């Protein structure tokens, strides 16, 4: 594996994921976040605009996607299909599975979890396609 390219592609994928998640949570889901955060005494603007947390989180997601792509491309072949497989796997472990685990605690209703998971798929797919495109052995 080319670790330099994993880092390059992973950082690019993470930055794109960070920007996309900003659109998802700061624009598309903002109205749904307001009552949830208010119930915990949190200000929506402060909570959703925390790059010190969300930035590293998305960088790690991007690195995971490109590392996984590099690891599975020998079996699935290089290209966008393999990048999508890697993105779907990381998305599954980062968004719907943890959110599903929170359902019994009723922090979020299932409708919100479903829309969050659906919207959250697009930034990681875009990040993966670009980040994995940058990967070369």
Query: For residue 88, what pLDDT is reported?
Result: 98
How many domains does one find in the chain?
1
- Report the distance separating Cα 131 and Cα 125, nearest Å: 10
pLDDT digits (tens, 9 = 90+) for 22-39: 999 989 998 898 888 888
Instruction: Return the pLDDT at 59.
Output: 96
Mean pLDDT lowest among 39-43, 74-78, 133-137: 39-43
Q: What is the CA radius of gyration of the chain?
A: 16
Burial of 50 (0-12, 13-18, 19+ CB in 10 A): exposed
Identify whether the C-beta of residue 30 lies closer than 8 Å to the C-beta of residue 82: no
d(CA 43, CA 33): 10
pLDDT at residue 46 in the model: 76
Q: pLDDT value at position 34?
A: 87
- Asked whether the beta carbons of 111 and 81 are under 8 A apart, the reply is no
pLDDT band at 106 (very low <50, low <70, confident <90, very high): confident
- Show the domain range for 103: 3-133
């Amino acid at each position: 594996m080319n670790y330099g390219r994993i880092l390059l592609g992973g950082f690019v994928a993470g930055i794109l994921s960070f920007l996309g998640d900003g659109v998802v949570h700061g624009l598309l889901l903002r109205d749904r976040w307001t009552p949830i955060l208010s119930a915990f005494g949190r200000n929506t603007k402060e909570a959703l605009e925390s790059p010190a947390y969300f930035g590293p989180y998305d960088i790690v997601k991007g690195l995971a996607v490109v590392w996984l792509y590099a690891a599975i491309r020998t079996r699935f072949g290089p290209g966008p299909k393999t990048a999508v497989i890697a993105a779907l796997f990381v998305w599954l472990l980062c968004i719907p599975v943890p959110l599903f685990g929170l359902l019994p605690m009723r922090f979020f209703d299932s409708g919100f979890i479903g829309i969050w998971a659906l919207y959250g798929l697009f930034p990681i797919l875009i990040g993966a396609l670009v980040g994995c495109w940058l990967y070369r052995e």
